[in-house]
Amino acid sequence: MSLLARLYGWVSALRNYLYDKGILDVHDAGVLTISVGNITTGGTGKTPLVAYIADVLAESGHEVGILTRGYGRRDESERVLVSDGYQILADPSAAGDEPIELAQKLLGKAVVIADADRSAAAEWARRRFGITAFVLDDAFQHRKVRRDLNIVCIDATDPFGGGDLLPVGRLREKAAGLGRADAIVITRAEQAGDLSGVREQIKSLAPNAKLFTSKTRLTSLRSSKDDSTALPNQERPVFAFSGIGNPSSFERLLKGAGFNIAGAKHFPDHHIYTAEEIADIESTARSKNAGALVTTAKDAVKLRGTEFSLPCYVAEVALEFDDASEFRDMVRKSRR
């Protein structure tokens, strides 16, 4: 492990120690608060889980607020009201791509706010919107806000990010940090083989946490042009492109749904596309005899108004739990 990784690990461990001992202050949002996070960088299926939990809370009668940092936005120090629960009030450059994706999924169900200072954002949102339950997006390491339920996502296809801390590997903290979790959700189980070894490792690190397994399901494809539900001609292959944390999982999802993938192009997480890049994607797709393009919902929010010469489709996904009733009961019963 490099010196930088050792230093990162030392700082992370010290910070956790200071919170554990009560030396660093924790802000109480005053209402039910559920955190969803992970111990690795990159995509772990966290966004669909945040949306799922918000759905459960809204169905239970809560006024729901999503608090997220909004990575990749123009000014991460600015508080942005992404959605008031009824309409989307910001664009991806101001709000970030994931907050916009969540706002679209949760219209009529949740207020979405992007703010690096989630404790201040919580106080503001309670006064303005009468929020009775918060979901903290990507907050396992953001310990400044007290939570009633601490949930961690573990990607079945890459559970511990290679085992090394940043910047050598993808771990945000040592895997032992899972011991703080109340519940752990193994995501993308359909893309992995035998999970018994992963389950045993998780149980050894977090013996008191409830353990759930989920699969990612492709629910629909919609046109990027007019949002109508559509289906490409499956006699011709499709070309996938994405700027997400785990692009390979997206391609496996499409293959699992029966699509013939002619090729794929990967961009960095939270990537903002240029006209030249879109032209290159289409040129590459044609060279591989692809009849259509397919991208993710996270990417699609940054492609509004983009004119494609090939049909372009957006994959909508949802989580399916092996024991949905138990998970939903846990969320409902976490109320104060």
Six-digit token string for 311: 């049909």
Q: For the whole model, what pTM was predicted? A: 0.94
Are the C-beta atoms of residues 82 and 56 closer than 8 Å to each other? no
**Separation between Cα atoms, residue 67 and residue 291, nearest integer Å:** 39
Beta bridge partners of residue 133, listed in sequence order: 32, 64
**Sorting pLDDT into bands at 50, 70 and 90, what band is 1?**
low
Q: Helices (H), strands (E): how many in the chain?
A: 10, 12
208 pLDDT exceeds 80?
yes
244 pLDDT exceeds 90?
yes
Give 254-303 pLDDT, tens digit per residue.
999 999 999 999 999 999 999 999 999 999 999 999 999 999 999 999 99
Task: Note the pLDDT of residue 161.
Answer: 86
Give Cβ neighbours of residue 132 (< 8 Å, ≥ 6 apart).
31, 32, 62, 63, 64
Q: Report how far Cα 14 is from the mean position of its chain's Cα atoms.
A: 27
335 pLDDT exceeds 90?
no
